[in-house]
């Protein structure tokens, strides 16, 4: 079975619901199309007919968070002229409990129009992993339950469809059910038909949050209109991806992406919350608490759990890996990087002004996470953080590039586990320093130990990871089971910037490589250099471009002072955003820009994707360069030199709860207003860009 493709479908999302249809709005019984609710397909068909014929599509457009509009024509109705006179506007809106559709039929004909409108409906309750694997579902018979009402039921889920002023029909046990309306329009008349679906699923492990939106949409003025459009669409998408657990609906996190990953993912949810810190700390706080409640407490090789470890993925039941021999347990801990990233999210949220009382509540979990780093992250004792799937049923690779073939040598050979990834050593180094800062600030012992740990890790990394290649020295992607450097040049090394693991000279070398044509001639940062034996533009992790990966590197380059390189990568993402209607997908192909003109879609990529949407905030923040340290009573202002993205003003950023406005003019001069009075602005000039 092949995984169904997504790139040409329209995705409408309001978590935990998501709908995927063809561009004409029809949900057809094929592939991944359908309405999903908490990892179940609760509607596998919703096809609209007028007099037994499908209307002709002329366009579609997003209409806000969780809403899409589809426009079509019934050209066989109305006046016999060149211009169409009967139009259908189909507005799809997802709610926390299902979906509502309104079909407005408008006639500009000079004579009355009559028609029979039907919506054919099917439900198969297919699990999301079965759909992802390409396995077809089995339709469940519908039951009429009153005037204009239909229902379907499974062992855990109940679905009800109501057609207002409609007739509900069920023809046979195998065929679709339908809603039917008889429509009569006077000359230049209009009528609106409405139907809605409600899903009840007490077994769902994720629900819609009860908390108000965790951020206020910023007010943005930019010379480059792509920035404002990308931010507008991204914030709408992020709003639609908000989730909570049933037992704690007030703690919000972001589901990773629709349709495959609309649930809690440790790494993804952490990175998205971290990139959104310039808009406030509430999302970060909710994400930290949710993951802390599921922090590991015991050793379990089947789930990958270990004391202090932060989980990877939450599902309602075990999840089959599409195209791989594996089955993940419902609560799975197979991630090597979520735990150090959790520590750094706590630290960064504290510096952006997360209330000390909220930080203090999480300090026992901080100490447990540091305990995992000390006792369980380095099973062979070589001083590096590494992973291996000892169960034989989990993820073979457990960094963010978690596909089975992502760790390759320069000649294309795959590395054998245990694997010690380069960027994970950077995360661990940064987490040790961040943990030490938090321990000191809250009067807890152990900070000196973690600073010593970081210093020793940096020396070991310098000795073991740096290799020679065609473009000179660079950090290897990883160490394999024999402690050999996996000598491919990849985007992973960009995550080392800003972690403190590299010297200034080493950072300059990494920045130079990241901006080289082999890495940056596409629409963003390639995951692997085009000179590597394993490179393919349409490989999931070996040559494609991931917006979140590029954004993480942009942010690190900007903070380290490599503004020219950051601007080059940002321009690539902005160009890609324009091609994708400002909804950046999970990933896209890594073809060179001068070869394709516009980015080629990766056909199975999720859209929207939380950390791809959050990349918009990371780009704007990198351009502005405001870095607060609320506990220390200071803030730095360090925008990109020369304003390479043009003049930009963002009002509505949040520092310690205060609304802040930051602006950069055409010459790169920066200003900030609204900082809390107890923060001292240390720097308000644009430094010269560092050149490797």
pLDDT digits (tens, 9 = 90+) for 30-78: 999 999 999 999 999 999 999 999 999 999 999 999 999 999 999 999 9
Cβ contacts of residue 505 below 8 Å, gap of 6+? none
The pLDDT score that the predictor gives to residue 329 is: 95
- Among 434, 440, 295, which Cα is nearest to 376's? 295
Q: What is the pLDDT of residues 428-465, one digit of tens each?
A: 999 999 999 999 999 999 999 999 999 999 999 999 99
pLDDT bucket at 171, cuts 50 / 70 / 90: confident
Domain ranges across the chain: 10-200, 252-615
For 92-120, what is each residue's pLDDT tens digit? 999 988 999 999 999 999 999 999 999 99
Phi then psi for residue 40, to 5 deg, are -130, 140
pLDDT at 471 (0 to 100): 84
Q: Which of 247, 285, 257, 287 is nearest to 270 (CA)?
A: 287
324 pLDDT higher than 80: no
DSSP H helical ranges for 561-604: 563-579, 593-596
Cross-strand bridge partners of residue 628: 635
Handedness of CA 595, 598, 604, 605 (dihedral sign): positive
Mean pLDDT, residues 654-666 taken together: 97
Is residue 686 over pLDDT 50? no
CATH number of 10-200: 2.70.98.10
> Per-residue confidence at 325, pLDDT binned at 50, 70, 90?
low
* CATH T-level topology, domain 252-615: Glycosyltransferase (1.50.10)
Give tens-digit pLDDT for 337-360.
Answer: 999 999 999 999 999 999 999 999
Using only C-alpha atoms, the chain has a radius of gyration, in whole angstroms, of 26
Query: H helices of 95-253, where?
Result: 128-132, 225-240
Mean pLDDT of the chain: 95
Dist. CA 127–CA 156, nearest whole Å: 12
For residues 318-340, average pLDDT: 89
With a cut of 70, say whether residue 209 has pLDDT above it: yes
CA distances to 79, 377, 508, 563, 681 from 643, in Å: 56, 42, 21, 9, 20
- What is the rounded distance in angstroms from the CA atom of residue 576 to the CA atom of residue 570? 10
pLDDT digits (tens, 9 = 90+) for 459-510: 999 999 999 988 899 999 999 999 999 999 999 999 999 999 999 999 999 9
Residue 688 has pLDDT above 50, yes or no: no
Query: What confidence score (pLDDT) does residue 321 get?
Result: 85
pLDDT of residue 683: 66
Looking at the chain, the whole-number percentage of residues with pLDDT higher than 90 is: 93
Q: What is the DSSP string of 489-556?
A: -BGGGGGGTTTT-S-HHHHHHHHHHHTSHHHHSBSB-BSB-TTSTT--TTSTTTT-B-HHHHHHHHHH
The mean pLDDT of 176-182, rounded to a whole number, is 95
Predicted pLDDT of residue 240: 97
Q: At 691, is the pLDDT very low, low, confident or very high (cuts 50, 70, 90)? A: very low
Chain centroid offset of residue 321 CA: 19
Bridge partner list, 478? 421, 486
pLDDT at residue 174 tops 90: no
8 A C-beta contact, residue 284 and residue 359: no
Cite the DSSP H helix spans in 294-355: 338-352
From 13-27, 163-177, 213-227, 503-517, the region with the lowest mean pLDDT: 163-177
d(CA 651, CA 670): 13
pTM equals 0.96
């Amino acid at each position: 079975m092949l995984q169904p493709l997504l790139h040409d479908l329209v995705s409408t999302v309001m978590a935990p619901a998501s709908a995927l249809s063809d561009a004409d709005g029809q949900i057809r019984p094929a592939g991944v199309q359908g309405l999903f609710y908490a990892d179940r397909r609760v509607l596998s068909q919703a096809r609209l007919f007028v007099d037994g014929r499908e209307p002709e599509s002329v366009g579609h457009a997003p209409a806000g968070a969780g809403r899409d509009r589809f426009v079509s024509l019934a050209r066989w109705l109305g006046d016999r002229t060149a211009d169409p006179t009967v139009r259908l506007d189909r507005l799809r809106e997802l709610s926390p409990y299902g979906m509502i559709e309104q079909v407005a039929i408008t006639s500009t004909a000079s004579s009355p129009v009559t028609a029979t409108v039907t919506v054919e409906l099917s439900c198969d309750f297919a699990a999301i992993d079965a759909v992802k694997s390409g396995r077809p579902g089995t339709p469940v018979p519908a039951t009429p339950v009153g005037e204009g009402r239909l229902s379907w039921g499974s062992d855990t889920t109940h679905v009800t469809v109501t057609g207002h002023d409609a007739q509900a029909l069920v023809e046979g046990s195998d065929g679709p059910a339908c809603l039917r309306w008889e429509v009569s329009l006077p000359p230049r008349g209009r009528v609106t038909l409405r139907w809605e679906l409600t899903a009840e699923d007490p077994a769902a492990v994720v629900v819609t949050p009860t908390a108000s939106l965790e951020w206020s949409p910023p007010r943005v003025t930019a010379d480059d209109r792509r920035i404002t459009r990308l931010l507008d669409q991204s914030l709408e998408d992020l709003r639609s991806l908000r989730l909570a657990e049933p037992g704690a609906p007030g703690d919000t996190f972001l589901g990773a992406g629709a349709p495959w990953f609309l649930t809690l993912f440790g790494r993804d949810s952490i990175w998205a919350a971290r990139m959104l810190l310039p808009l406030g700390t509430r999302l970060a706080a909710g994400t930290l608490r949710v993951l802390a409640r599921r922090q590991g407490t015991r050793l379990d090789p089947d789930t990958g759990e270990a004391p202090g470890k932060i989980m990877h993925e939450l599902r309602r039941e075990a999840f089959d890996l599409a195209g791989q021999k594996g089955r993940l347990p419902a609560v799975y801990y197979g991630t090597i990087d979520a735990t150090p990233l959790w520590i750094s999210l706590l630290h960064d949220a504290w510096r952006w002004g997360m209330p000390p009382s909220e930080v203090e509540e999480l300090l026992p979990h901080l100490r447990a996470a540091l305990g995992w780093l000390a006792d369980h992250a380095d099973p062979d004792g070589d001083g590096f953080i590494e992973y291996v799937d000892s169960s034989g049923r989990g993820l073979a690779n457990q960094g963010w590039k978690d596909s089975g073939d992502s760790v390759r040598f320069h000649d294309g050979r795959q590395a054998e586990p245990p694997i010690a990834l380069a960027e994970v050593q950077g995360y661990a180094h940064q987490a040790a320093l961040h943990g030490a800062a938090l321990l000191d600030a809250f009067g807890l012992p152990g900070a000196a130990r973690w600073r010593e740990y970081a210093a020793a890790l940096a020396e070991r990394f310098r000795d073991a990871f740096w290799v020679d290649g065609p473009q000179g020295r660079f950090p290897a992607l990883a160490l394999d089971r024999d402690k050999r450097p996996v000598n491919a040049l990849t985007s992973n090394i960009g995550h080392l910037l800003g972690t403190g693991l590299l010297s200034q000279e080493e950072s300059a070398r990494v920045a130079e490589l990241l901006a080289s044509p082999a890495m940056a001639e596409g629409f963003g940062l390639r995951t692997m250099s085009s000179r590597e034996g394993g490179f393919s533009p349409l490989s999931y992790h070996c040559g494609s471009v991931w917006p979140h990966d590029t954004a993480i590197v942009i942010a690190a380059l900007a903070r380290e002072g490599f503004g020219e390189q950051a601007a080059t990568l940002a321009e690539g993402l902005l160009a890609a955003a324009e091609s994708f209607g400002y909804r950046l997908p999970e990933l896209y192909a890594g073809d060179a820009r001068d070869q394709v003109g516009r980015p080629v879609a990766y056909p199975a990529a999720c859209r929207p994707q939380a950390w791809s949407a959050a990349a918009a905030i990371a780009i704007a923040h990198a351009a502005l360069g405001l870095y607060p340290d609320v506990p220390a009573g200071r803030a730095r202002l360090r925008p990109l030199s020369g304003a390479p993205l043009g003049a930009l003003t963002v009002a509505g950023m949040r520092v310690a709860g205060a609304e802040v406005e930051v602006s950069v003019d055409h010459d790169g001069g920066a200003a900030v207003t609204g900082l809390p009075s107890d923060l001292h602005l240390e720097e308000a000039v644009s430094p010269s860009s560092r050149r490797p």
